Structure 1
Amino acid sequence: LAAVGLLPLVVYAVRPGLPLALAALALAGMGAAYVIGLDQWFVDAVPPELRGRAMTLLTAGLMTIQGAGMALAGLAAEFFPVHHVVAGSGIIGTVVTLLVVAEVRRTAPGHLSDTERRDRADRHVTSR
């Protein structure tokens, strides 16, 4: 869901009419539902006595990054057509999200690299 949440914005590249633009924005907004699962990961990773402060810091960080993104998009819209900026935001956001998803999967607890998987299989075979 996170990886494809911003793809609907790419429709702006063809200068959509109001109904299609609203549908794209609604779909992109629904794509933000992936955050619900991320909050639980964060809560699980933070000791209970620090959760209040940690959630405050997380929220402040998210709002800061979102504000910076809006400012950069506004700056880009000074030099490029708005519909290109929105479509580009969808593309850039999707690429960045795919990179983050790949990193999360690579570093997730219980994830084994190919080398670790082969080593474990070799140890299993030799232990028989």
Structure 2
Amino acid sequence: MNNEIFKESKKRAPSQRDRILNLLREKGDKGILNIELVDICIGYRSRIAELYQMGYKIDVENVEQGVCIYTLKEEPETPRTNIPSAVSVVMEEIQSSYDGSITADDLAAILNNMNFNIVRKHGSFKAS
């Protein structure tokens, strides 16, 4: 029974990304501080990145060390929904520009040029 209640509430509750987008719209030119976005979602930067990929233009400005403000500047006419994974984008670049074979330096350059950052998946680091 609890599982059914959870599924139903999840259908009705707006996603974290939608909540962040709605808040950005509400705040307008004033923007929203990152410390406020943490109240919606600890991983707010991932949700902002998804919005970028969907075509939303969002400015970020450092206010002071560790604090920044996000401001929605422009919305796409039709948000993109078929966003390729970072891995597939990198693989496509390797296949098209490097004939499928690259060095470690090449990979570092690709990631840097595409503004990609490598992070571990949640739970992937286990203490020995």
TM score, norm. by length of structure 1: 0.22
The structure with the largest strand share of the pair is: 2
TM score, norm. by length of structure 2: 0.22
